[in-house]
Amino acid sequence: MFTGSYVALVTPMFQNGDIDYKSLEKLVRFHVEQGTHGIVSVGTTGESATLPFDEHVNVVKETVAMASGAIPVIAGSGANSTAEAIFLTEQLGKAGIDGFLSVVPYYNKPQQAGMVAHFNAIADASELPILLYNVPGRTVADMLPETVSELAGHKNIVGLKDATGDISRLKATQALVPKDFVLLSGDDGTSSDFMCEGGHGVISVTANVVPKAISQMCEAALAKDFAQCKAIDKTIELLHSALFIEPNPVMPKWALYKMGMMESAEMRLPMVLPELASQKHIEELLQKYELISG
């Protein structure tokens, strides 16, 4: 369950900020055709922080319809208020999704016991599987391996997206959770190392731009062809770093816009378009990878 390459999908928008559903359908079809193993809809990269509940739910519903069962769809359902996260989980549970991605509460800085209570309450609100999401670079609060282990005892909590970029954290978590507990990298730059050390896949930002390479990298790792996994990763490592020179999803949106996958690179405020130097940098890389013409 939930192994391989899952794209942290951007949410296309017009210049006025409205959702561009036509471009969204184009992106979903692109990922199905390119071999992406699944989609995470309206997570951090999908600008969950600035989509109101009704719009959030509708984007997920439309993504599910567009995928038409070809690949699984996981919905971002996190919030820093437990009551809001439960409400969103209940609403998204009716959208035909395959599971949830729920982030550690941000800003509040909850204790480890607070995280346990938060996630158990969310898991009680739906029978669908839940992936925990630890990204202390954004949330400040860091969910420790011992906390993950305790939460793994809930029948609906099936895995973790670890965006710490710390491979030693993976090893510590592996020692404490059941063997069937899914461990996914949330850090593209270290994802190949993560999988070669026993991780089960990645929820990837880079997959927005080069989905086939990421899916092939994951398939190689899952087949224990670690040399091939690392070789593929080596070919795209420049993209891993370039897509994060400005806060996500600024750069992947600009890249997809330049690739002709979206009509606009627009984002909701407070995010804005990339600096001219950043635009030039990513465009030069896209030319290098023959994703756009020179």
Question: What CA–CA distances, in Å, run from 219 to 7, 131, 225, 233?
Answer: 14, 21, 9, 12
Q: Mean pLDDT across the stretch 46-65?
A: 97
Look at residue 112 and tell me if it is in a domain. yes
Look at residue 238 and tell me if it is in a domain. no
Output the pTM of the full model. Answer: 0.97
Look at residue 286 and tell me if it is in a domain. no
Look at residue 282 and tell me if it is in a domain. no
Question: pLDDT by residue (tens digit) across 18-46?
Answer: 999 999 999 999 999 999 999 999 999 99
Percentage of the chain exceeding pLDDT 70: 100
pLDDT-based confidence at 267, cuts 50/70/90?
very high
Q: What is the DSSP string of 171-187?
A: HHHHTTS-TTSEEEE--
**Average pLDDT value over all residues in the chain:** 97
Look at residue 251 and tell me if it is in a domain. no
Look at residue 252 and tell me if it is in a domain. no
Look at residue 82 and tell me if it is in a domain. yes
CA–CA dist 281, 255 (Å, integer) = 10
Q: Mean pLDDT across the stretch 228-251?
A: 98
pLDDT-based confidence at 1, cuts 50/70/90?
confident
What pLDDT is stored for residue 49 in this prediction? 95
More confident of the two residues 1 and 74: 74
Segments of 57-156 assigned E as strands: 73-76, 99-103, 130-134
Task: Find out whether 45 is annotated in a ligand binding site.
Answer: yes
What pLDDT is stored for residue 294 in this prediction? 74
Question: pLDDT by residue (tens digit) across 136-157?
Answer: 999 999 999 999 999 999 999 9
The catalytic residues are 133, 161
CA–CA dist 167, 178 (Å, integer) = 18
Look at residue 293 and tell me if it is in a domain. no
Task: Find out whether 206 is annotated in a ligand binding site.
Answer: no
125 close to 155: Cβ distance less than 8 angstroms = no
CATH number where 89 lies: 3.20.20.70
**Boundaries of domain holding 67:** 4-233
Buried b (16+ CB within 10 A) or exposed e, 36-45: bbbbbbbbbb
User: Residue for token digits 């999803």?
Assistant: 249
CA–CA dist 77, 128 (Å, integer) = 12
Question: pLDDT by residue (tens digit) across 161-205?
Answer: 999 999 999 999 999 999 999 999 999 999 999 999 999 999 999
How many structural domains is the chain composed of? 1
